[in-house]
Amino acid sequence: MTVLVLRALGIGDLATAVPALRALRAAYPTARLSLAAPAWLRPLADLTGAVDRVVPTTGLAAPPRQVPPPAVAVNLHGRGPQSHRLLTKLRPERLLAFRCERYLDGPQWTEDEHEVARWCRLLDWYGIPAHAGDLDLHPPAVAASVPDATIVHPGSTSAQRRWPPRRFADVARALEGDGHHVVLTGGPGERELALSVARDAGLPADRVLAGHTDLAALAALVASARLVVSGDTGVGHLATGYGVPSVVLFGPVPPKWWGPPADRPWHRALYHGDSLFTIDVAEVLAATRAALTEVVRPDRRAAARAGSPGSG
């Protein structure tokens, strides 16, 4: 029996689906749980401990290659109808999805809802209990290249969610002055941005890891980190998954949709409404100090720093 889950998006999207994936794993313990997602997300899928196989899928351009048809197809990708149609082409015995045109089963989509809660509610409707707080990731299989670093991640896939590089540089300089070992992360296309932040912060070029870490190495770096400072992007979700103190800058999308759990005060979400450009350096630095004073669950930090392989 195969359960196929569609979530063909990015790091943060997969991280917010962890509780739903774990719920499906518990509901179908003997099934082969396949995740239709971009192939490069396989290391993160392994760290959920719920996924047996990644079926390489990019967006909704074509249906995942799945032979034979899955017993259960689960749409954790969107509200439909396009994503629904993609899965129905696979002829599953059962489809779990939100209600939309021509698909009258499932609960109603709610716009004003946290992404984690959304997918838990979907499964709950079908009688599959899901716990929204079950966000912890398994320890990485590799050791961190720079243990106990403070990560500053200035990039974002959206310009609207990208805080000014000069302010990231001011934060990095201040944290370094306070005794943090600051490194800058980012994707291959963000290396020049990270290098410019490092120069403005007075940091050497070897502190720039952007473009030089694959997803497994990035997860290991975050798992062992002292602190993460970022915009609303995937690194912030990794910090949540590993219980690492973090400060995440939100705007225009509010943290009530994508932010860390409110009951974990070592994660600080800063939000001033539609524009994150009104958040200043002093506020970010104050939030880092506040996050670092909170007591993180010791079992989570100990497990993350152990560096033992995740399952999946």
Same domain for 163 and 97, yes or no, is no
Examine the domain organization and report whether 90 and 178 are in the same domain: no
- Work out whether the CA dihedral 142, 135, 2, 35 comes out positive or negative: negative
pLDDT score at 117: 98
Mapped onto helix, strand or coil, the DSSP state of residue 96 is: strand
Q: What is the pLDDT of residues 184-208, one digit of tens each?
A: 999 989 999 999 999 999 999 999 9
Q: Average pLDDT of the chain?
A: 92
274 and 198 inside one domain: yes
Task: Please name the helix (run of DSSP H) or strand (run of DSSP E) that holds residue 20, with its range, or none.
Answer: helix 18-27
- In a domain? residue 265: yes
pLDDT at res. 309: 38
In a domain, 51, yes or no: yes
Inter-CA distances, 140 with 9, 71, 221, 297, Å: 21, 31, 9, 18
Contact 1, 28 (CB under 8 A): yes
- Is the pLDDT at 216 greater than 70? The verdict is yes
Is residue 142 assigned to a domain?
no
Regarding whether 236 and 201 lie in a shared domain, the answer is yes
Q: How many domains does the chain have?
A: 2
Strand boundaries in 89-201, DSSP class E:
94-96, 150-153, 182-184
Average pLDDT of the residues in 43-47: 97
- Stated pTM of the model: 0.93
Backbone Cα Rg of the chain: 20
* Token reading at 79: 């509200």
The enclosing domain of 288 has a CATH number of: 3.40.50.2000
Residue 108 in domain: yes
CB 266 within 8 A of CB 291: yes
- Do both 160 and 113 map to the same domain? no
Alpha carbon distance 10, 261 (integer Å): 19
Helix axis angle for 18-27 and 115-125, nearest 10°, is 20
Specify whether 119 is located in the same domain as 155. no
Residue 100 included in any domain? yes
- Mean of pLDDT values over 86-95: 94
User: Which is it for the CA torsion 252, 257, 263, 267, positive or negative?
Assistant: negative
Note the pLDDT tens digit of each residue in 226-282.
Answer: 999 999 999 999 999 999 999 999 999 999 999 999 999 999 999 998 889 999 999
Model confidence at 300, in pLDDT bands (50, 70, 90)?
low
Phi-psi region of 80 (alpha: psi -120 to 50; beta: other; left: phi over 0): left
Same domain, 154 and 300: yes
Q: Could you tell me the pLDDT band of residue 301, with boundaries at 50, 70 and 90? A: low
Kindly report, residue by residue over 94-104, the tens digit of the pLDDT. Answer: 999 999 987 87
In a domain, 131, yes or no: no
Looking at residue 103, what is its pLDDT? 85
Residues 192 and 113 in one domain: no
Residue 312 lies in a domain: no
Residues 163 and 221 in one domain: yes
In a domain, 145, yes or no: no
Q: What is the pLDDT of residues 59-85, one digit of tens each?
A: 898 778 766 899 999 999 999 999 999
Please check whether residues 76 and 36 belong to one and the same domain: yes
Whether 79 and 208 share a structural domain: no
pLDDT in tens, 4-35: 999 999 999 999 999 999 999 999 999 999 99
155 in the same domain as 121: no
Range of the domain at 107: 2-125
